[in-house]
Amino acid sequence: MEFQLPDVGEGTTEGEIVRWLVEVGQRVELDQPLVEVETDKAVVELPAPAAGTIVSLHGDPGETVAVGSTLVVIAADGEATAEELPKANRSPSAAPMAAPYTRRLAAESGIDLGQVRGTGPNGRIVPDDIRRELDARIAVRAQRAEEQANAPTDRGLSPARRRVAEQMSRAWREIPHVTVVEKYELSELVQLKHQLKPDADGAGVRVTYVAFLIKVLALTLPEYPEFNARWQGDRLVRYPDIHIGFATDTEAGLAAPVIRRAGEKSVLEVAREVARLADGIRQGSLRPEEIGGSTITVTTGGRLGGLFATPIIHAPEVAIVGMYRIQAEPVIRNGAVQAGQVGYLSLTFDHRVADGVQAARFLNALGESLSRPGRLLLRLR
């Protein structure tokens, strides 16, 4: 049977072979990993569709193949393998003509006689043919070494980064981005995170602010369904379920694994999923449904972030929410200056879908819930 490159993410049209995990003639079991493939979403392992023996592998590491292209041919149990096929069905190549000395010279030089053009009688390969081939290869290697030595240090974008760049450029080109930003006093959120720490530690979970953001966003979105939507061609589709992607830094660039039905999970469950998916996206072990299908995305500035940013929307979605560094600042409470914890939130939205008033209301509802999470405590746990 032929195993073809599947669509491992939304709109994926091609993938780059990273490395083969099997070899020709090897026996494999159902769902045994066959190959690592890198797409614009992530590096994923593709499993065997059936048990059997590997007959042939198609494509070399670093080669880009289109979705639908044959990657592996497997002889399922009971089928003939390549070694068992009748010799009459094979097409052997003619053996090169060469004397024993010439063959030994070729072997010592690492030269395949099948790649050498013979200049002797009747096309026989002679020692001078081997020497010319060896000289030519040495010259090619020297030229390549010189080119590499004189090449610029920046060799351009990696295939994965190039695909991210194309996606970002298309989103920026096609979507009228508008960003609203507001500053919120988040002392109660900081305190709640501290209060939940013993329970989280007991459950083996590290609760981060992104877990609170995802949970509160999931609770807020039902009142603002226009932001929980995706474009399908020229149609805008709103979704009843809330699947929140969160931007994650990987060696290949940004990726956005997905917390599915985030509103049905507690903060601790969201935090556990965030940690699992972040590790998985970096290791290339996530399933396709875990890296696609989000209805809205969040991003966080982290420890190295600035005050705030204006993120690019993860098309075909219509909005992305940003949360940035929370830091101590003086705040005014009841007319007195006190120490507080302050942070910025941003909402970047598609202006075709909503206007500034709707966006401001949505961001303020989200910010107020994060500022006073105590009233949502029962829903957060």
DSSP string across 80-108:
--GGGS-GGGS-PPPPPPB-HHHHHHHHH
The pLDDT value recorded for residue 7 is 79
Distances (CA, A) of 68 to 11, 23, 33, 133, 193: 13, 21, 18, 39, 47
Distance CA 99, CA 38 (A): 47
CATH 2.40.50.100 segments of the chain = 2-89
Mean pLDDT by 10 residues, the chain (381 residues): 81 81 90 85 84 90 85 79 42 63 84 85 84 86 79 64 81 94 94 90 90 95 96 93 91 84 92 94 86 93 73 95 92 90 95 96 95 67 44
For residue 183 the two structure tokens come to 């500053």
Give the pLDDT confidence score for residue 254 in this predicted structure: 78
Contacts (Cβ under 8 Å, ≥6 apart) of 101:
127
Q: CATH classification of 178-380, choosing from 3.20.20.140, 3.30.559.10, 3.30.1240.10, 1.10.1060.10?
A: 3.30.559.10
Topology given in CATH for the domain delimited by 2-89? OB fold (Dihydrolipoamide Acetyltransferase, E2P) (2.40.50)
Residue 88 confidence (pLDDT): 35
Class in CATH terms, 100-143: few secondary structures
Strands (DSSP E) contained in 196-243 are 229-232, 235-238
Cβ within 8 Å of residue 192, ≥6 positions away? 212, 373, 374, 377, 380
How far is Cα 82 from Cα 313, in angstroms, rounded to an integer?
A: 49
* C-beta atoms surrounding 145 within 10 Å: 10
Residue type, 231: W
Q: Say which of 128, 199, 279, 355 is annotated catalytic.
A: 355
Q: Quick one: tokens of 208?
A: 């981060």
DSSP at 226: G
Task: Please say if 355 is a catalytic residue.
Answer: yes
Of 260, 284, 264, which is closest to residue 274 (Cα–Cα)? 260
Within the chain, all domains assigned CATH 3.30.559.10 are found at 178-380
3-state SS assignment for residue 123: helix
Q: Which of 199, 201, 279, 351 is catalytic?
A: 351
Q: Is 351 a catalytic residue?
A: yes
Peptide bond into 316 cis (omega under 30): yes
Predicted local distance difference test score (pLDDT) of residue 239: 95
